[in-house]
Amino acid sequence: MHRNGVTEQSWASWSTSGGKMQLERVHHSQIAPQNHLMCAPRPRRAIILDAERSSQRVLRDDLVQLGCEARVVAEIAELRGELTAADGPDLIAAEYRLAGKRLDDLLAVVPQPLWPRLVIVTAYASIASAVRAVKLGVGGYLVKPARGDQVLRAVGYSLPGNAPDVVALQDGSQPYLSLDRAIWEFLTQAVEDAGTLSGAARLLGLHARSLRRMLAKYPPPR
């Protein structure tokens, strides 16, 4: 079925002759000791909200290869229908800037208990909007193009390896920081200025636990 030039995808899954692919859990020593984060359960059903067919396809194929069922919708109204289904998703990767929509429009559709399993994947990124999204309780905020492993990490499912913290320009000129690294530096600077994590949380209008979670989520790869 085609809607607004986008093909509605059916549920897809990936398996081997031995059954569903099992993701490798990282050893505890690979997780920063100050994080105290448990490895979240692997999402099994994902919804991708995006009107761009190329990014739809890449992210869907990634998630399928990582053992998730994945379905694509192109409009927030379609997402509402998927969320009311009996077998609704336990992971949502969404571009909220669709046809003039804003983050608040997306959050009005997604039930609040699902916000920690919602990952914003957007082409209209900024540090201010990323901090606001996480402050509201959204699971993660990524810049397009985002891959399936990044989305899973954003909701707390640990995978080996790290995304690069520097993104090279297409013409090969001076590189710039990825948004993940920029967010981490912004938050780290706030902690340094305040002297304590709880003081920085007050300056940013965050709960200390939320700030600790954000710092744990965006460590710069070394």
The per-residue pLDDT for range 6-49, each reduced to its tens digit, is 333 333 333 233 333 322 222 222 223 233 334 566 778 999 99
84 against 60, higher pLDDT:
60
According to DSSP, residue 18 is labeled: T
**Band (109; pLDDT cuts 50, 70, 90):** very high
Identify the burial level of 5 via C-beta atoms within 10 angstroms of its C-beta, where 0-12 means exposed, 13-18 middle and 19 or more buried. Answer: exposed
Amino acid 104: pLDDT: 87
Section 147-171 average pLDDT: 64
Amino acid 94: pLDDT: 93
Q: pLDDT above 70 covers what percent of the chain?
A: 67
Amino acid 207: pLDDT: 82
Rounded to an integer, what distance in angstroms lies between the CA atom of residue 34 and that of residue 193?
20
Amino acid 217: pLDDT: 65
Section 166-187 average pLDDT: 57
SS (H, E, C) 138-207: CCEEEECCCCHHHHHHHCCCCCCCCCCCEECCCCCCCCEECHHHHHHHHHHHHHHHHCCHHHHHHHHCCC
Task: State pLDDT tens for residues 85-103.
Answer: 777 888 999 998 877 678 8
Phi and psi torsions of 141, nearest 5°: -145, 115
Which of 158, 7, 151, 4 minimizes the C-alpha distance to 89? 151
152 against 158, higher pLDDT:
152
Vertex 163 angle, CA 162 and 164, to 5°: 115
Query: Looking at the predicted structure, is the pLDDT value of residue 162 above 60?
Result: no
CA gyration radius for the chain? 18
pTM of the model: 0.60
Amino acid 179: pLDDT: 64
The per-residue pLDDT of the chain, averaged, comes to: 71
User: Which span out of 12-21, 38-47, 57-66, 198-207 was modeled with the highest average pLDDT?
Assistant: 57-66
Rounded to an integer, what distance in angstroms lies between the CA atom of residue 203 and that of residue 199?
6
From residue 33, alpha-carbon distances to 27, 29, 110, 187 in Å are 12, 8, 33, 19
